[in-house]
């Protein structure tokens, strides 16, 4: 399946979105005219793989920090001082620790 947008496009859109924009609380983002719904389960799996921790710990961290998003089939991560960055490959799906 081809993604509607690339991870780079999602990261660019998030970096341009003001923090006071209500879209941050809507469970998804509009990118290139398309609405991308955040997948909370995959977002937590991404967090678990990046943090190298169990899924429950990753879920708590992601709820508190919201640094790991999967939306529209693409993944991005927030990096301090650099903003949102694309996750370029999907190997994290195979590495994600389970509960």
**DSSP string covering 25-50, please?**
GTTEEEETTEEEEB-HHHHHHHHHHH
- Is 1's pLDDT higher than 50? no
- Is 25's pLDDT higher than 70? yes
Backbone angles phi, psi at 41, to 5 degrees: -70, -45
Q: What residue spans define the domains of the chain?
A: 7-95
**Alpha carbon 66 to chain centroid distance?**
8
Confidence (pLDDT) at 94: 63
Tell me: the pLDDT tens digits for 32-89? 889 999 999 999 999 999 999 999 999 999 999 999 999 988 999 999 999 999 998 7
53 vs 59: CA distance, rounded Å: 10
The closest of 25, 28, 81, 20 to 10, measured between CA atoms, is 28
């Amino acid at each position: 399946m081809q993604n509607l947008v690339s991870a780079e496009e999602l990261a660019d859109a998030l970096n341009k979105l003001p923090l006071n924009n209500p879209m941050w609380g809507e469970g998804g983002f509009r990118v290139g005219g398309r609405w991308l719904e955040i997948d909370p389960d995959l977002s937590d799996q991404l967090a678990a793989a990046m943090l190298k921790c169990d899924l429950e710990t990753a879920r708590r961290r992601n709820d508190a920090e919201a640094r790991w998003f999967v939306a529209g089939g693409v993944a991005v991560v927030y990096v301090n001082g650099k903003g949102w960055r694309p996750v370029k490959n999907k190997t994290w799906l195979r590495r994600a620790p389970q509960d």
